[in-house]
Amino acid sequence: MPGRNFLFIPGPTNVPQRVRNAMALEQEDMRAVDFPKFTLPLFEDLKKVFKTKTGRVFIFPSSGTGGWEAAVSNTLSPGDKVLMSHFGHFSWLWVDLCQRHGLNVQALEVPWGEGVPVEKYAEILKADKNKEIKGVFVCQNETATGVTSDVAAVRKALNDANHPALLFVDGVSSVASIDFRMDEWGVDLCVSGSQKGFMVPTGLGIVCVSQKALEARKTAKLPRTYFSFDDMMGANDNGFFPYTPNTIYLRGLRESVNMLMEEGLDNVFARHRRMATAVRKAVAAWGLKLVASDAKWYSDTVSAIYVPEGFDGNEMARHAYKFYNVALSISLGKIAGKAFRIGHLGDMNEMMILTPISAAEMAMHDMGIKVKLGSGVAAAQEYLCSTKQQVRAL
């Protein structure tokens, strides 16, 4: 098919030309004497993205799942009790990982379309008089359902209970796209990945760790080798890595952080909110509903959209790919086939966000779903036109 494929899934995301240019270089010696001049400032600037002054950032050659494993294996021991909740495919996978590591997981099952049950967390933490819970887990953004949870509220629940448990956050599809405040929210471990808001190909697991969590590693007894914080620290302190790093991706990450800093994180978050709102305006114009059950749960990085009963959202997404060369995302798990997803994170602007809206309209029209062609596009255009002065001085 002539032309290019358009990518609008919740990760991997579009890689900007600047990042691709930064990665178009020869391989380099990761033990060269001048390598630390590149890596040490990168570590420090990544802390700004996580909004921490006291934390420490580790970069593993892995996906976000590797970051999950690093966070867990360096801070906990077999049999430790942890409090988790699952309300989508990816929050469940984190539960599964902790169970496989031999942790005593109290996993709260939440209806898909909602997020972390803060009130229930608060009750459980207050009732834990002996402070047996060692870790509290929050999936800040569940991409399977397009739901964002309130990390700050979970921190408040911990504080109100005067509870010392470590606070773990899955920020894979939120960091660098949705507001995240490591120090202010008292987060101990936050996991992210290169392929989402950082706009780099999949392959870097980025973990930000508090001083409290670094202390916890001294008594943690879960096995770790590849993901050892100790091994990383010993090498990172001097600007190197304990094994071969993905130097080309690190160069891309350097450029992506430059872009984030140039735009300003608050502007990045506002842009994501604006793109997400444009999609939500389109969904309303179609007469469809989001999987997120209430506005307080709406994600600014991905929208999961129910299709009418009797239709298959996954087939619709495949139809858009086959006939219109646009990659929308299928639905997973409990809602497989009942919905489709539009990813709207990373390198994204007005004209780009209109593309998946238009493609979804055409694909739904082809499949017999009663949506008026142009209705969602027009609603999104109206919103984007009316808000352009908020983000750009003409």
Q: How would you write the pLDDT of the chain (394 residues) with one tens digit per residue? A: 788 899 999 999 999 999 999 999 999 999 999 999 999 999 999 999 999 999 999 999 999 999 999 999 999 999 999 999 999 999 999 999 999 999 999 999 999 999 999 999 999 999 999 999 999 999 999 999 999 999 999 999 999 999 999 999 999 999 999 999 999 999 999 999 999 999 999 999 999 999 999 999 999 999 999 999 999 999 999 999 999 999 999 999 999 999 999 999 999 999 999 999 999 999 999 999 999 999 999 999 999 999 999 999 999 999 999 999 999 999 999 999 999 999 999 999 999 999 999 999 999 999 999 999 999 999 999 999 999 876 554 3
Q: Say which CATH number the domain at 258 has.
A: 3.40.640.10
Helices vs strands, H then E, count in the chain? 13, 14
Q: Is 4 inside a domain boundary?
A: no
User: Looking up tokens 């989508």, which residue turns up?
Assistant: 88
Instruction: Write down which residue in 229, 262, 295 finishes a domain.
Output: 262
* CA–CA dist 271, 345 (Å, integer): 9
Instruction: Write down which residue in 262, 286, 304 finishes a domain.
Output: 262
Instruction: Write down which residue in 262, 277, 307 finishes a domain.
Output: 262
What three-state secondary structure class fits 320?
helix
Identify which of 189, 358, 392, 343 has the alpha carbon closest to the alpha carbon of residue 286.
358
Amino acid in the structure at residue 209: V
Query: What pLDDT is attached to residue 390?
Result: 66
Residues 250 and 282 in one domain: no
Q: Is 7 inside a domain boundary?
A: no
Residues 226 and 321 in one domain: no
Q: Say which CATH number the domain at 292 has.
A: 3.90.1150.10
Residues 340 and 378 in one domain: yes
* CA–CA dist 277, 353 (Å, integer): 10
Q: Is 25 inside a domain boundary?
A: yes
Q: Domain span at residue 140?
A: 17-262
Residues 342 and 249 in one domain: no
Residues near 316 by beta carbon (within 8 Å), at least 6 away in sequence: 307, 328, 340, 360, 363, 364, 367, 369
> How many domains, the chain?
2
Residues near 26 by beta carbon (within 8 Å), at least 6 away in sequence: none
Residues 307 and 368 in one domain: yes
Q: Is 366 inside a domain boundary?
A: yes
Residues 341, 7: contact at Cβ < 8 Å?
A: no
For the beta carbon of residue 93, count every other beta carbon within 10 angstroms: 17
Residues 316 and 206 in one domain: no
What three-state secondary structure class fits 105?
strand
Supply the DSSP string of 125-151, one letter for each residue. Answer: HHH-TT--EEEEEEESEETTTTEE--H
Q: Is 9 inside a domain boundary?
A: no
Q: How far is CA 368 from CA 147, 291, 303, 312, in A?
A: 28, 21, 22, 11
Q: Is 10 inside a domain boundary?
A: no
Amino acid in the structure at residue 351: M
* CA–CA dist 190, 199 (Å, integer): 18
Query: What pLDDT is attached to residue 391?
Result: 59
Identify which of 9, 278, 355 has the alpha carbon closest to the alpha carbon of residue 270.
278
Residues 152 and 63 in one domain: yes
Q: Quote the pTM value.
A: 0.97
Tokens of 302: 């991905």
* CA–CA dist 242, 232 (Å, integer): 6
What three-state secondary structure class fits 262?
helix
Residues 324 and 232 in one domain: no
